[in-house]
Structure 1
Amino acid sequence: MTWTGIRWKRKGSGGRLCDRALDVFPGQPSSVSELPFSRDTWRTITQSFRVHRTITRTILREVTYFSVLRHTPSDTKLPQISYTARMNAALPCDLALSTTYIPSTHTSYSVLYGVYPAQGDEIWARLFSALSSSPTHPLLVLGIFLELDRARLISHADSLADEFTLGADVLSSEETPWDPSTAKENLKMQRYLRVCLRSRTLADYMGTAKRQLSKVLAELDELELLWTTTPTAAAAAPVPAGDDEDYLNDKRRDSNDKGKEEEDDLIATGKQMKQRIRDIMDEYDDRMDECGRMAQNLSLAMQTGWNQIARQDSMTGARVAKVNTAIALETKRESAQMRSIAVLTMVYLPFSCVASVFSTSLFNWSPDEGEPVVSHYIWILMAIAAVLTVLTVLAWYLWTTREEKKGRKGKSGMGLGMRNDDDVADMA
């Protein structure tokens, strides 16, 4: 059902529901600022329902907002109070409202913008129930507007609380503890973090809505003061002199009593509205605390998880330290054995070398008469030994130099090239 052409009119109250414009793209709802009718129709609505131009600025804010403007139009010369309100556009199903109240006649005109069919049904049901009472409070439609905004915010808060509770097993599961090294666990944690960030954003939205409700409470107090201090139109009207003076006095008294009774009813309704607004503010406080606890619980759970991981790392480090200690002790024992072997080798190697040389035929320890003790081929032994020594030393030098070059190339390839002494001297 469309509500674009639906309006209500009752003594002291009138208004209209404006449909939400069609979606610009599929799945992308249109803004409240986009109206589903022509400019001429909009001009007619603003004139018929006395819409003040501040509604444009309020709608374009796209944040929760409530404004009050007291002014006297030049055409009617009657003091008026213009109210505008806006829901936060960051959440779906946002609305805007303009209400104009004329205190001297106790009449109010309201227009709701961006109404979806389901919202129109609920608004109309609430209006039908409220309009049956007498008189109609000028901020009645604003009260319905605030109830719709409350239902919208609380619904999102409940949804986030459910997501947070269902995702809490990411960190609280005893069978499968959180392991940040796995891609699956990281994906779960990212979803969990998004829920917490959305809860913080929603808490900010509720805080803004609560501040605007404080302004509504102040305006209800102002209206109550206005009704208690301003005389009714019948009481303020002069009584003409003449034979019918007593009759006019009685008529004025009756009208005054009736007006006073209506104002008392308005004040009583205003007090009920103030109590309801305080209840909504308390509910916002509770939900903001709940959103804050989500972030606190996540921080505590993550800290506990990281502490558990650090504990496991410490235990692993302790085991590695024990293994390293055992390896060091074994290496120490092997080093002691190698030193013993080296000492024995140094002790026995000279004797073995001398014994090997002396056991050759180069030495004749029992020579005959005229035979030398040392063979004249001893030089061959010395020459071969010298050549082998030189070749051994040369091979050792070439091998060690080659390994050092490989090490320097590997370090330079990793960006860790070492500067030699000449480079350091050039830099100095």
Structure 2
Amino acid sequence: MDWFLASRAIVRRMKTPEEWQKWLEQDCPSPRDSESGLVVLFAKRSTESSTSKARQTTEKSLLGGTEVELPMQENFVQSSHPSDMETRRQNDEKQDSYSAAVRHSLRTIPFSRNTFELITRAFYMHSSISRVISRADIPVFTHTKAVMEDEHGSKHDVSVFNLRTSNAWPVDLALTVTYFHHCNLKFAFIFGCDLKVEEEILSRLRLAGDDATHPLLLPGIIVEIERRRHVQIVDDIVNEVEARIHQLEVSPDTEEGMTTSQMEKSNKDKRSAWLNITYTRNCLQSWRKQLENIALHVDEVNRILLEGYGWSSNLTTPPPTPNAYEECPLINEEEIPIDLAQVVPEHSALCHEQPSERFVSIGCKIKSRTLAIIEEYDDKIRECSLRIEGMVMATQWAQGETSLEITKATSRDSKHMRSIALVTMLFLPGTFFAGVFSMSFFDWSGNNGQPLVSKYIWIYVLCTVLVTLVTLGLWYFLNIYRRRLSASNISAV
């Protein structure tokens, strides 16, 4: 089987539906022509602004010695402000404040329904990408085998790779790659690109050279971009949690000087930090699982290549209908210019060489790098787990220190009470007898100079005895008898 090595790159930008239709009908590669290559379409977000001059300069510098075909200057979307590039960078820095609606903007593509229908047919886009994009909060990687029918009615075996990153944070991406085995032709559609992501992907494709022909290289590039995003997110949340852990060391005396609103805000921040790092760890674990799937499917792609572009016996997913790619689940009413990076194939000295061994070697590199990234994610997951456990431990320590302070304060109060009780014991007899003998029941100097005792002293004795008995009875009923009654009722139940 002939193998066409892609040796030059063309970057094009279409603005109008007529330009799209002309390119798709005349210049877009077709699997019927048995041309190898990689066709990548970058679909920016609906909120993304155009920076034509900066983009033109960037494309030339990124592609280096490759061929760049751009429309005439009048076709560019001109910036109305000379500092548009700086404004664009400021907008990128404000991505953390995106609303939930913007985060779901992968479902809003930057061109009209008719244009998108033409692209889906020309790019042989599989309908499974719709389900992948809909799972916004969950990262997904899928590999589906299918049979696609070209414009001339010929059927071809293809592999469809779909990848979607989580929209829990800004700058989420989605990718679909349709890989034709018989001619090594790949169509890729990347959703949600901004200028920085597009620059990085083009730069990595240029550096990859001939390795860009592997069907899993683009998913590998998305994995690298997502890794950098996750590293920054984990570092930020770890620093925040460590700051909250230090706040747990505040003594009870300091907390007494805080207002109620300050206490509520501090507690809310601590809870939010714990919830954020726990959610981040769960997301990292979900994404790690998808990385394992990518590494696993590298082996499956290698088996496909070694079997002469036949299906591996271990691939059990049933193929979809031949015309499944004709579905159009994602639409938008507006027409916004996008960018297309196309690697146009050329014959080379390797035209008649079997690509299987080369692809297997490239696949081993991709798998090795994916496994290395998985190990890095394991470290990040352990960092999150360490901070979660550290926050739990710090909370327990803070509670233990608070309990110790309460115990010490209780001990000090107990010592004071013992002192008070001792003083009371010393002065109570004297106070009692002083009060008794000072009553009018006793007359120490009577008419004849003799002490007299009133005949009504029995009233004092009777009232004292009755009140004492009532007090003791109430104490016994409230503190002893009622508790025993409750305990007996519970045991009976």
TM above 0.5 = yes
Q: 1:4 to 1:273 in 2, by over 3 A?
A: farther
Say yes or no: does 1:42 pair with 2:116: yes
Deviation, structure 1 residue 122 = 1.1
The structure with the largest alpha-carbon Rg is 1
Q: Partner of 2:362 in structure 1?
A: 269
Say yes or no: does 1:118 pair with 2:212: no
Q: Partner of 2:402 in structure 1?
A: 309
Say yes or no: does 1:98 pair with 2:176: yes
State whether residues 101 and 107 of structure 1, in contact with CA within 8 Å, keep that contact through their aligned partners in structure 2: yes
* Same amino acid, percent of matched pairs: 21
Distance in 2, Cα, partners of 1:4 & 1:221:
37
Distance in 2, Cα, partners of 1:134 & 1:321:
79
Say yes or no: does 1:259 pair with 2:353: yes
Q: 1:162 to 1:227 in 2, by over 3 A?
A: same
Aligned-residue CA RMSD in angstroms? 3.7
State whether residues 3 and 17 of structure 1, in contact with CA within 8 Å, keep that contact through their aligned partners in structure 2: no
**Matched letter for residue 408 of structure 2:** M
**Matched letter for residue 385 of structure 2:** G
Deviation, structure 1 residue 104 = 1.5
Q: 1:143 to 1:314 in 2, by over 3 A?
A: same
State whether residues 12 and 107 of structure 1, in contact with CA within 8 Å, keep that contact through their aligned partners in structure 2: yes
State whether residues 252 and 402 of structure 2, in contact with CA within 8 Å, keep that contact through their aligned partners in structure 1: no
Deviation, structure 1 residue 106 = 1.5
Among 128, 131, 138, the residue aligned to 1:54: 128
Q: 1:202 to 1:318 in 2, by over 3 A?
A: same
Q: Partner of 1:328 in structure 2?
A: 421
Q: 1:81 to 1:178 in 2, by over 3 A?
A: farther
Q: Partner of 1:165 in structure 2?
A: 242
Among 299, 315, 319, the residue aligned to 2:412: 319
Deviation, structure 1 residue 99 = 0.4
Q: Secondary structure at the match of 1:98?
A: strand
Q: How many residues align?
A: 339
CA deviations over 1:167-221 (Å, ceiling 9, x no partner): 4431347xx7784443446534432332222111111111111111111112110
Give the structure-1-normalised TM-score.
Answer: 0.70
**Matched letter for residue 225 of structure 2:** L
CA deviations over 1:119-150 (Å, ceiling 9, x no partner): 111111112222x2257101111111111111
Q: Secondary structure at the match of 2:210?
A: coil
Q: 1:142 to 1:342 in 2, by over 3 A?
A: closer
**Matched letter for residue 65 of structure 1:** V
Q: Partner of 1:14 in structure 2?
A: 39
**Matched letter for residue 259 of structure 1:** E
Mean Cα deviation higher: 208-217 or 72-81:
72-81
Distance in 1, Cα, partners of 2:133 & 2:170:
15
Say yes or no: does 1:85 pair with 2:163: yes
Distance in 2, Cα, partners of 1:231 & 1:301:
57
Q: 1:160 to 1:101 in 2, by over 3 A?
A: same
Distance in 2, Cα, partners of 1:4 & 1:158:
40
Q: 1:349 to 1:200 in 2, by over 3 A?
A: closer
Q: 1:344 to 1:263 in 2, by over 3 A?
A: same
Among 281, 289, 300, the residue aligned to 1:211: 289
Q: Secondary structure at the match of 1:112?
A: strand
Q: 1:227 to 1:123 in 2, by over 3 A?
A: same
State whether residues 15 and 110 of structure 1, in contact with CA within 8 Å, keep that contact through their aligned partners in structure 2: yes
Structure 2 segments unaligned to the other structure (5+ residues) = 1-11, 30-34, 49-96, 311-348, 468-493
Structure 1 segments unaligned to the other structure (5+ residues) = 233-254, 361-384, 401-428
**Matched letter for residue 20 of structure 1:** R
Say yes or no: does 1:67 pair with 2:142: yes
Mean Cα deviation higher: 293-302 or 4-13:
4-13
Q: 1:343 to 1:162 in 2, by over 3 A?
A: closer
Deviation, structure 1 residue 165 = 3.4
State whether residues 97 and 110 of structure 1, in contact with CA within 8 Å, keep that contact through their aligned partners in structure 2: yes
Q: Secondary structure at the match of 1:104?
A: coil
Distance in 2, Cα, partners of 1:231 & 1:196:
49
Mean Cα deviation higher: 49-58 or 66-75:
66-75
CA deviations over 1:18-55 (Å, ceiling 9, x no partner): 111128xx953251001111001111111111110111
**Aligned 1:177-256 pairs, distance under 5 A:** 179-181=254-256, 182-183=258-259, 184=262, 187-230=265-308
State whether residues 171 and 305 of structure 1, in contact with CA within 8 Å, keep that contact through their aligned partners in structure 2: yes
Deviation, structure 1 residue 13 = 1.5
State whether residues 94 and 114 of structure 1, in contact with CA within 8 Å, keep that contact through their aligned partners in structure 2: yes
Q: Secondary structure at the match of 1:356?
A: coil
Is the helix fraction higher in 1 or 2?
A: 1
**Matched letter for residue 88 of structure 1:** S
Among 190, 207, 210, the residue aligned to 1:133: 210
State whether residues 162 and 175 of structure 2, in contact with CA within 8 Å, keep that contact through their aligned partners in structure 1: yes
State whether residues 210 and 281 of structure 1, in contact with CA within 8 Å, keep that contact through their aligned partners in structure 2: yes
Q: Partner of 2:228 in structure 1?
A: 151
Q: Partner of 1:367 in structure 2?
A: none
Deviation, structure 1 residue 11 = 3.5
Q: 1:178 to 1:299 in 2, by over 3 A?
A: farther
**Matched letter for residue 312 of structure 1:** E
Q: 1:27 to 1:278 in 2, by over 3 A?
A: closer
**Matched letter for residue 375 of structure 2:** D
Distance in 1, Cα, partners of 2:303 & 2:193:
33
Q: 1:229 to 1:140 in 2, by over 3 A?
A: same
Q: 1:3 to 1:124 in 2, by over 3 A?
A: farther
Structure of greater relative contact order (alpha carbons < 8 Å, 6+ residues apart):
2
State whether residues 214 and 362 of structure 2, in contact with CA within 8 Å, keep that contact through their aligned partners in structure 1: yes
Q: Partner of 1:337 in structure 2?
A: 430
Deviation, structure 1 residue 341 = 3.4
Distance in 1, Cα, partners of 2:254 & 2:281:
30
CA deviations over 1:263-300 (Å, ceiling 9, x no partner): 21111110000011101111111111111111111111
Deviation, structure 1 residue 258 = 3.8
Mean Cα deviation higher: 107-116 or 14-23:
14-23
